[in-house]
Amino acid sequence: MVKIGLQLYTLREELERDFEGTLRKVAELGYSGVEFFNYFGRSAEEVMALLEETGLTAIGAHRPYDVLLENADAEIDYILKIGSPYLIVPYLTEEQRSDWSSVAANLRILGEKCREKGAVLLYHNHDFELREKSGGLTAFDYLYREVPADLLQVEMDTCWVYYGGYDPVQYIGSYAGRLPLIHLKDMKRLVDGSAETVVLGEGEVDLAAILKAAEQAGVKWAIVEQDYCSRPPLDSVADSIKWLETNYKQGGNIHV
């Protein structure tokens, strides 16, 4: 069964103001889990106590690539202490991805460190991994070819796959069995061709088809994310979970 979580980057300003209160609100809205990107100075013990209070599950954490390279052991220990095995590389700058073979080598090293400690390394994509090439493949496919599945799992941002020019349903099927997490995100294409992230159901991404494909592929968590919100972010994430509830009532496969 696919569970529904929230990537907390969506609520970054709210968390900065009131970390504990914001997590309590996320739980009240009906999300089952949260994916961290920053701990806002809280210890693993403090975060775990809050998770236990709210009933939220720590899905995993996005942590900066350079931080992971420099301080992998501490990052792995923290994520394990809050009850999750998943440590995720969230983004690469242009400089960091100037050589995809070096990225693959670093991911292999990080993956080995995670495996030794009982954690799992994942990589989260944007659209550039679909547009840039390496070894005759998209950078996305190249990384997963070069780093074995026991060292690197997939966190597929389905919206960015779509915006990158590929069918997310097909891509989900291609990585079935290696894909514990997806990001569920909607977007509208603006006049200049850029993407504006929107509340689920208000854009052009076929979310219902993605959810069905995710379940068939063995995905554990579909994680709602809205990079930028045109209205208050808490209202946006509330409206997104309402869309999920409506989709289920209309024959969708994921029950919130």
If phi > 0 it is left, if psi is from -120 to 50 it is alpha, else beta; for residue 85 that is alpha
CATH number for 3-249 (one of 3.20.20.150, 3.40.1480.10, 3.40.605.10, 3.40.50.720): it is: 3.20.20.150
pLDDT (tens, 9 = 90+) of the chain, 256 residues, equals: 999 999 999 999 999 999 999 999 999 999 999 999 999 999 999 999 999 999 999 999 999 999 999 999 999 999 999 999 999 999 999 999 999 999 999 999 999 999 999 999 999 999 999 999 999 999 999 999 999 999 999 999 999 999 999 999 999 999 999 999 999 999 999 999 999 999 999 999 999 999 999 999 999 999 999 999 999 999 999 999 999 999 999 998 998 8
- Indicate the domain borders of the chain: 3-249
